[in-house]
Amino acid sequence: MLCPLCGEGETKVVETRLAEDGKALRRRRECLRCRHRFTTYERIHGGPLVVRKKDGRREPFQPDKLRRGITTACEKRQVPTDAIEKAVRNIEEFFLAQGRREVSSREIGEKALEWLRQTDDIAFIRFASVYLDFEDLNRFRQEIDELMKSKSR
């Protein structure tokens, strides 16, 4: 993408956000030559993010579903609703910003876990116990051990 001001510079992406209800990416770019900043809109073709489930079926990413899962895990914890809302958006944008069109439900779950881990210990453990497969339980146990270690430090 060429800089509209100097017409020559290579640009780097400073920030990527979803726009138009997930149908476009709004990117802030900066020219590496003249430092001019500008915004571009890129249409996402074929709709938003697609989620590949464990059984191999695919469905459109449903923010509501992820929000429900996280909200359930955060029940009676001090996690503000708008923080959950923001986390859901960030998770979707994280993958779209990488140019990903398809992600596995596992990858989404792991991003949610990553966020919960920094947000609320109990919600993190609740979400993990619902979300993780049996095969992941050993890894999860290590996570908890690490978490406890970092708390007692």
Hey, what amino acid is at 6? C
- Cβ contacts of 40 within 8 Å, gap of 6 or more: 1, 26, 27, 29
Q: Which of 99, 97, 94, 98 lies closest to 110 in space, CA to CA?
A: 94
Q: Does residue 3 belong to the site contacting Zn ion (CB under 5 A)?
A: yes
Q: Does residue 14 belong to the site contacting Zn ion (CB under 5 A)?
A: no
- Secondary element (H or E) of residue 40: strand 37-43
Q: Does residue 11 belong to the site contacting Zn ion (CB under 5 A)?
A: no
CA atoms within 13 A on the CB side of 119: 24
Q: Does residue 9 belong to the site contacting Zn ion (CB under 5 A)?
A: yes
Q: Of the candidates 16, 18, 25, 31, which one interacts with Zn ion according to CB under 5 A? A: 31
Minimum distance from residue 1 beta carbon to Zn ion (Å): 11
User: CB-wise, 7 or 60, nearer to Zn ion?
Assistant: 7
Window contacting Zn ion (CB under 5 A); options: 12-20, 25-33, 79-87, 131-139? 25-33
Q: Does residue 37 belong to the site contacting Zn ion (CB under 5 A)?
A: no
User: CB-wise, 34 or 137, nearer to Zn ion?
Assistant: 34
CA distance 66 to 85: 10
What residue ranges bind Zn ion (CB under 5 A)? 3, 5-6, 9, 31, 33-34, 36
